[in-house]
Amino acid sequence: MHVLLTAGPTYEPLDPVRFLGNRSTGKMGYALADAFAETGAEVTLVSGPVHLPAPASPRIRTVQVETAQQMYEAAAAVAPAADVWVFAAAVADYRPATV
């Protein structure tokens, strides 16, 4: 079984220094990734910026992203091959039209 899982926040840049973001830690998504891996699943974890150690399981492949668009593109690339999709990320609702 192949699981696609998203976790953590996304950051939307306002300018080169500031961004819109949230306080999501990614803990739930990372715990779910570990749980799926323990059952024998292959996991693709698409993660926003978090302060957590990389998953130790060799069954978990982590893809690091920053913005909602990057998360969408990374998840969309994996989705056709995944059997299960779990979206636990706290994705930004807004992004500026220009930066």
The residues spanned by each domain of the chain are: 2-87
DSSP output for 43-89: EEEEE-S-SSPPP--TTEEEEE--SHHHHHHHHHHHGGG-SEEEE--
Quick one: pLDDT at residue 75?
A: 99
Is residue 67 a contact partner of residue 49, using CB atoms and an 8 Å limit?
Answer: no
Which residue in 49, 51, 55, 63 sits closest to 91, CA to CA?
49
Which residue in 38, 58, 43 sits closest to 1, CA to CA?
43
The pLDDT tens digits of the residues spanning 56-82 come to: 999 999 999 999 999 999 999 999 999
| Average pLDDT across the chain, whole number | 97
Mean of pLDDT values over 34-42: 98
Known active-site residue 22? yes
Q: Which one from 2, 22, 76, 87 is the annotated catalytic residue?
A: 22
Quick one: pLDDT at residue 82?
A: 99
Q: Phi-psi category of 97—alpha, beta or left, where left has phi over 0 and alpha has psi -120 to 50? A: alpha
Tokens of residue 11, six digits = 């950051």
Quick one: pLDDT at residue 22?
A: 95
The pLDDT tens digits of the residues spanning 9-26 come to: 999 999 999 999 999 999
> Which of the listed CATH numbers 1.10.10.10, 3.40.50.10300, 3.40.630.40, 3.30.565.10 matches domain 2-87?
3.40.50.10300
